[in-house]
Amino acid sequence: MQDKFAGVHWMLSTPFNESEQVDYESLARLIVKAREFGCVGVVVLGVTGEVAKLTDSERYKIVEFVVQKAAGLSVVVGTTGSGTAVAVARSQEADQLGAHALMIAPPPIAKPNLAAVIHYYSSIAAATSLPLVIQDYPAVSGVYMTVELMKQLADQLPSFKYLKLEDPPTPAKLSMIKKSLGDRIGVFGGLGGLCLFDELNRGSLGAMTGFAFIEVFVEIVQYMQQQQHGEARELFYKYLPLVQMEMQEGIGLSIRKEALRLRGLIDTALVRHPGVNIDDVTRNELKTLVSWLGLEF
């Protein structure tokens, strides 16, 4: 029986207006499109949502708003905290607001140790009954999570149901996880979908990514679910240049937001300060690539 979470979960960008205030009308459009594009869910308060630049009150209102608007979609909420008490409080708040699952990276620890990471996740699991999506993204968290650590967490925490894998090379690590844990943990690919096809081919459930043309990923996942691997491979490699363009370090988020703006899904592509905003040359390169691929804004 297929896992109810299997498929594509769209990591929502946080739209801002020119005054850097959250644009809820644009956010509502993204949710509507996620449903129309065939996503099984949305994810809020992730890296692509500029979560580190949001105030606590903005976080609360965004989760409340998305849960209210996302009927028919699962809502995964990022509740990572720099301290265990903060992560617990954020997780309980998301639970009370109606989230369906929590996405949580390990806490930033100068010298990470196994006991501290296990205590962190155990405390969160004890405070809420929601499924946990552990985010394995060492480039951001600074914590390298071994497969053995994941196995220990899975053994101790029944609510650890899913992993968002963003530790490259992701296909190789996914195979190691599968060898150790089998199907006990559902794995989703991240990193913008850079290795989506290979991850699916090795047993991932789908993707959690903010790719601006997310319907392409939905189609790829559907092909794989139907065992049409050739069609999935062809579609993935056709659009890989656009995936790569979006994943450029430092400017990728502004490219993604500009693509969303050009598609009419958000009103402005503003990245909140001190983030980098797109320049005219890069914008024209984006338009050229999208046109060359036969896509439309």
186 and 163 Cβ atoms separated by less than 8 Å = yes
Q: What per-residue confidence (pLDDT) applies to 1?
A: 55
pLDDT of residue 97: 98
Asked whether 165 and 183 are in contact (CB, 8 A), the reply is no
Residues in the chain: 297
Answer whether 118's CB lies under 8 Å from 82's CB.
no
Rounded Cα distance between 117 and 148, Å, is 13
> Are 150 and 165 spatial neighbours (Cβ–Cβ below 8 Å)?
no
7-226: CATH topology: TIM Barrel (3.20.20)
Residue with tokens 């809420």: 128
- Going from N- to C-terminal start, the domains of the chain cover 7-226
pLDDT tens for the chain, 297 residues long, are 578 899 999 999 999 999 999 999 999 999 999 999 999 999 999 999 999 999 999 999 999 999 999 999 999 999 999 999 999 999 999 999 999 999 999 998 878 788 999 999 999 999 999 999 999 999 999 999 999 999 999 999 999 999 999 999 999 999 999 999 999 999 999 999 999 999 999 999 999 999 999 999 999 999 999 999 999 999 999 999 999 999 999 999 999 999 999 999 999 999 999 999 999 999 999 999 999 999 988
Residue 100 · residue 79 · CB < 8 Å: no
Does the model's pTM come out above 0.85? yes
Residue 102, burial from CB neighbour count under 10 angstroms (0-12, 13-18, 19+): buried
Q: Which residue has the tokens 């149901």?
A: 161
One-letter identity of residue 209: T
DSSP string, the chain: ---TT-EEEEE----B-TTS-B-HHHHHHHHHHHHHHT-SEEEESSGGGTGGG--HHHHHHHHHHHHHH-TTSEEEEE---SSHHHHHHHHHHHHHHT-SEEEEPPP--SS--HHHHHHHHHHHHHH--SPEEEEE-HHHH-----HHHHHHHHHH-TTEEEEEE-SSSHHHHHHHHHHHHTTSSEEEE-GGGTTHHHHHHTT--EEEE--TTHHHHHHHHHHHHTT-HHHHHHHHHHHHHHHHHHT-TTTHHHHHHHHHHHTTSSS--PPPTTSPPPPHHHHHHHHHHHHHTT---
Residue 109, pLDDT score = 85
What is the Cα Rg of the chain in Å?
A: 18
Angstrom distance (rounded) from CA 50 to CA 136: 18
pLDDT at residue number 112: 72
**pLDDT score at 108:** 86
Distance CA 65, CA 259 (A): 23
Q: Which long-range contacts (CB under 8 A, 24 or more apart) does 283-288 make?
A: 283/258, 285/245, 286/245, 286/255, 286/258, 286/259, 286/262, 287/262
Distance CA 63, CA 214 (A): 21
